[in-house]
Chain A
Amino acid sequence: MGHRFAGVGAVRDGLDGVQYLADEGIAGVVYLADRLAKPVLVEGPAGTGKTQLAKSTAEMCGARLIRLQCYEGIDESKALYEWNYKKQLLRIQAESQTWDEVSDDIFSEEFLLTRPLLEAIRATDPVVLLVDEVDRVEVETEALLLEILSDYQVSIPELGTVEAAQIPLVFLTSNSTRELSEALKRRCLYLYIDYPGLEREREIVHTKVPGISQSLADEVARIVRSVRQLELKKAPSVSETLDWARTLVLLGVEHVDAEAAAETVQVLLKHRSDIEKALKELSTGDARSSGLPR
């Protein structure tokens, strides 16, 4: 099987091309996922671009993105496949054949409704499968995923085993609200996407926000870094940083001073206590003045 990417560098350039700034770790794991034909489990704080990574990878490869949004109570009829009962019923009533003929007939592909996982397996065009927020499903339901993740196949009792026409790139994302099972983790490559460092965040802001000046992007990134160092209920995510930068550009702010920050900080922080704390901390200048134990 041909590989999708020539090297780590190629992945990074490719992602750059679709405006996703990957660091060494992200690009390396995507590259390995292709080479080792393994799914990638992506964890990290909310809003750091986990889902976006899957989308951007699909865009980079020119592949179709098939997305399975997980939620509590999802089952195989929503994730894998389902028999089309109504159609089966019609089929039985339509013709008066012998029982044997009908019973063989109604469990054929014609009556199968494919759901995201099976669809990704059966696709002949290039696809990227995204299993979003996999930590929302119960531990028992996780087992549904195991066969497809390790062997790229789905067993349907009435039909037999459906094997993958090609091995798709698979991304699973998790906000780590619970520990995923060892069995699942073992089958995946693991990628933790943390908040980006100063340089990368500056780059992200600069690429993603049209019309922002280099110096404003730099200031935004530096302020966000300082804010993240405070102990907040919810640290600003990358998407919130971008929203904030866009707000500043819209308001025509060229240089963020305390006043501009105070007026727009609601875009960045969503808890009242966080906002108060950030404003207080950032306007005193002297770090570590709050008297909190550190």
Chain B
Amino acid sequence: MQVTARGAGAGPSPLLGLLGGFIAELRRAGLPVSLTEHLDATEAARHVPLDDREAFKFALAATLVKHHAHWQAFETVFEVYFSLRGAEYEPDGDSWADDVDPAELLDPRGEGRGAPLSEDAFARLLFAALLRGDQAQLRAAARRAVQRYGGMAPGRPVGGTYYLYRTLRSLGLEDMLERLLETTREQAGRPLTPLEERLERDEMESRIERLRKEVEAEIRRRLVADRGTEAMARTLRKPLPEDVEFVHATREEMEALRKAIHPLTRKLAARLSRRRRHRSRGVLDFRRTIRQSLSYGGVPAEPRFRYKRPAKPEIMVIADISGSVAAFARFTLHLVYAISSHFSKVRSFVFIDGLDEVTDLFETSDDITEAVHRVNTSADVVWVDGHSDYGHALGVFWDRYGRSVNPRTTVMVLGDARNNYHASGSWVMRELQRKARRVFWLNPEPRSYWDTGDSIMSEYSAHCDGTFEVRTLRHLERFVEQTF
């Protein structure tokens, strides 16, 4: 009601309409934007000068984005909906001199002004811009590069990544870093110390990254101009880090996941210990209450309770680390070790078709990431051909470690149960269930895929106390919270 009233008061403002579309897109991207927050954003937009794009962006962010992990998604949508559309950003201004302030991109030898630049001259300009690291120059160079090499034509039905790839390849960024460093060394006039070398490298890398970002932004802007906001937003829609599926994650998404798991584990650990403390109050301890009442003349003023000592389970993790599910196993192991203080003991085993214990790798290393890396390189997990063989792996587990499974043990098996048509070895699961406290199976595939193809999930799940579909970090978090 308030929306219509306000909208009517301000007239059919184009900004309100745009904001509405923007927020609808944020919701489609998975951000929980409530009605109140929508109103706040509208209100906030009235208080910032609209020509200050940065201020406008932060005003919207402050009212709409209440979770840091959502920032990236917000930024992408913002770039699409409020892309720069001034005259100076028109896609087809062709001459170098019109496009950029000549003073900004002065060619060392003064050639090429006004006239279209030769390939060589452009490369030199780009190099100079990177060497100086000036943001405005980088932006101009990026715009220029897209115009030159992107090969973008209106209505061409190819994705933004294609243009990005084309442009970046033509810029020859692969050896750019080395060339920049070479020049820096020459300028210094003496050999750099390793520390300086490292700092220079980081600096240059960040500049090249900035250039890449600018190129990306430029391509996106042109695409928006060509295809329209809605269509563009749809193609750019990406799942939030916690909703990325382990099995299908791209390299970039993997990186985002790796960053997301750290705060997640911290949060989870805090939550688990808090719950432990709160649950600790048990039934009335009659004897101690009477004892206490003596100091109040026999009035039981201060009841005493029996405190539960929550059992800390022993955990045994058996993880499939063959190609398809390796990432899933890595994240789960990471998580389990991050909260290992809640367990009396954690032992971990990894397998492909052979099986190896890797508890040592985790216990001797402070750094979980490094331990996971060492698992990948030093565990002896291949028996015959390096294709998952659950039957054999489980058999080995039972022979070698079956004796240490006891009624305090919780066994977690991680894998997709795709057995490449080997024998299932499900008798091991039956034995495990009989000996262990609980047996869980975590599967990174959607439930509907189970038992299709060579997946023999139901043979195993018959002997599990619980099977879980753990496709994303969110699922993983929920599993841990419910179970421990």
Chain A residues packing against B (C-beta within 8 Å): 7-8, 24-25, 28-29, 31-32, 35-36, 38, 40-41, 43-44, 72, 138, 176-179, 182, 185-186, 188-192, 198, 219, 222-223, 225-226, 229, 231, 233, 256-258, 261, 271-273, 277, 281-287, 291-293
- Given contacts A44-B68, A176-B68, 15 further A-B pairs with CB under 8 A are A24-B54, A28-B48, A28-B55, A28-B58, A28-B59, A29-B58, A32-B47, A178-B267, A186-B36, A198-B206, A258-B195, A271-B366, A272-B366, A273-B367, A292-B370
**Known A32-B62, A292-B373; contact A192-B203, beta-carbon cutoff 8 A:** no
> Is the CB–CB distance between A222 and B199 below 8 Å?
yes
Report which of A7, A31, A182, A190 forms a contact with B65, defined as CB distance below 8 A: A190
Given the interface pairs A178-B267, A225-B202, A287-B205, the reply to whether A189 lies near B62 with Cβ below 8 Å is: yes
Closest Cβ–Cβ distance, residue B336 to chain A (whole Å): 18
Q: Bound complex: CA of A25 vs CA of B223, how far in Å?
A: 28
Q: Are A282 and B193 in contact (CB under 8 A)?
A: no
Closest to B197 in A: A285
Complex Cα distance, B338 from A13, in Å, reads 43
Interchain CB contact under 8 A, A258 and B194: yes
Q: Which of A32, A35, A138, A282 has the most CB of B within 10 A?
A: A32
Q: Are A190 and B62 in contact (CB under 8 A)?
A: yes
List of A residues within 8 angstroms of B344 by Cβ: none
- Given the complex of chains A and B, what is the CA–CA distance between A292 and B371 in angstroms? 10
Let me know if A182 and B58 touch, CB within 8 A.
no
- Do the beta carbons of A189 and B63 come within 8 Å of each other? yes
Taking the closest CB of chain A, its distance from the CB of B37, in whole angstroms, is 6
A29 / chain B contacts, CB cutoff of 8 Å: 58, 62
Could you give 23 example pairs across A and B, Cβ below 8 Å?
A8-B52, A24-B54, A32-B48, A32-B62, A32-B63, A36-B44, A41-B66, A138-B274, A176-B267, A178-B274, A186-B66, A192-B71, A223-B195, A225-B202, A226-B198, A226-B199, A233-B366, A256-B195, A257-B195, A258-B194, A272-B366, A277-B367, A287-B202
Evaluate contact between B58 and A24: CB separation under 8 angstroms: yes
Given the interface pairs A43-B68, A192-B68, A229-B202, the reply to whether A177 lies near B58 with Cβ below 8 Å is: no
Chain A residue at minimum C-beta to C-beta distance from B205: A287
The answer to whether A222 touches B202 (Cβ under 8 A) is yes
Q: Does B32 contact A (CB under 8 A)?
A: yes
State in angstroms the CA–CA spacing of A8 and B52 once bound together. Answer: 10
Indicate if the CB atoms of B62 and A177 lie closer than 8 Å. no
- Compute the total of residue contacts between A and B using a CB distance below 8 Å: 126
A49 to chain B, nearest CB (A): 16
> CB-CB < 8 A to B55: which residues of A?
8, 24, 28
Judged by a CB distance under 8 angstroms, whether B161 is at the interface is no
CB-CB under 8 A from A188, the residues of chain B are 66
Q: Which of A223, A291, A293 has the most CB of B within 10 A?
A: A293
* Residues of chain B within 8 A of A223, CB atoms compared: 195, 199
- The answer for the CA separation of A279 and B295 in the assembled complex, in Å, is 61
Residues 175-231 of B contacting A (Cβ, < 8 Å) = 192-195, 197-199, 201-203, 205-206
Contact present for A182 and B32 (CB under 8 Å): yes
Closest to A26 in B: B58
Whole-angstrom distance between the alpha carbons of A222 and B196 in the complex?
Answer: 10
Alpha-carbon distance between A90 and B266 when the two chains are bound, in angstroms = 50
| Bound CA–CA A261/B199 (angstroms) | 13
Q: Which residues of B contact A283 (CB under 8 A)?
A: 194-195
Residues 229-287 of B at the A interface (beta carbon under 8 Å):
263, 266-267, 270-271, 274
Bound CA span A222–B48, Å:
34
Q: Is B340 an interface residue (CB 8 A)?
A: no
Q: Which residue of B is nearest A194, CB measured?
A: B68
Q: Which residues of A contact B61 (CB under 8 A)?
A: 25, 190
> Within the assembled complex, what's the spacing in Å between the Cα atoms of A198 and B270?
32
Q: Which residues of B contact A285 (CB under 8 A)?
A: 192-195, 197-198, 201
Q: Which residues of chain B are within 8 angstroms of A261 by Cβ–Cβ distance?
A: 195
Complex contacts, B274 vs chain A, CB 8 Å: 72, 138, 178
